[in-house]
Amino acid sequence: MKALYALAVAGLAAGLCLILIIVLASRDSSQVDPGTTAGPGTLEADRGAQVVTSGPDTPASAPDKPPTSGPHREAPVNADRTELTDDEILTALAAGNVVLAYEGAAPAAIQEEVSGPYDPELAAAGQAVILAKRPGVGGVQALAWRRRLVASGPDDPKLREFAEAWLGQGPGS
């Protein structure tokens, strides 16, 4: 009899906990969507994150508008301060890295302050600021997954804010 009573009390307690959870969850107004979270830079259109393994080449972007999302072939960045393909940029962004595309002077101070010199292992973990030469970009653009910031120059303080806000934020973050 005592066991049956204890079982009934435990069932009642579990039921009350469930009701409390449902009530509290229905009152939670936070609808956080990483794709719409506010932060520095402009939110870009979602072109997908599909990794292509066969078929035709992936589309190439205009020199003045490097991609921030889209289908791409897996292409890790082996070194920065070089011209990166769109596939390399998208692979880096999908991992959570921030890419600083530049024409002219490299924004090296931002890279040094936020993540240190380029390290392939850090980039594989999505924790690197990667410098990418990009003829035609017209200055400096900071890129993260679906995010873009057009900077006033390599010393623009908004670059650091952008890098710190979006580093580690890939498509599933």
- Examine the pLDDT at 33 and tell me if it is beyond 70: no
CA distance 117 to 113: 9
User: Which residues sit opposite 64 in a β-bridge?
Assistant: none
The residue that leads in pLDDT, 50 or 4, is 50
**pLDDT at position 9:** 65
Strands 140-144 and 98-102, bridge-based pairing? antiparallel
Task: Please determine, for residue 64, whether its predicted confidence score (pLDDT) is greater than 80.
Answer: yes
CB atoms near residue 170 (< 10 Å): 18
pLDDT score for 25: 53
Which residues lie closer than 8 Å to 66 by C-beta, 6 or more apart?
86, 89, 99, 101, 132, 134, 137, 141, 143
Question: Which of 103, 77, 99 has the alpha carbon at shortest distance from 88?
Answer: 77
Note the pLDDT of residue 158.
97
pLDDT tier, 30 (very low <50, low <70, confident <90, very high otherwise): very low
Which segment of 55-59, 74-78, 89-93 scores lowest on mean pLDDT?
A: 55-59
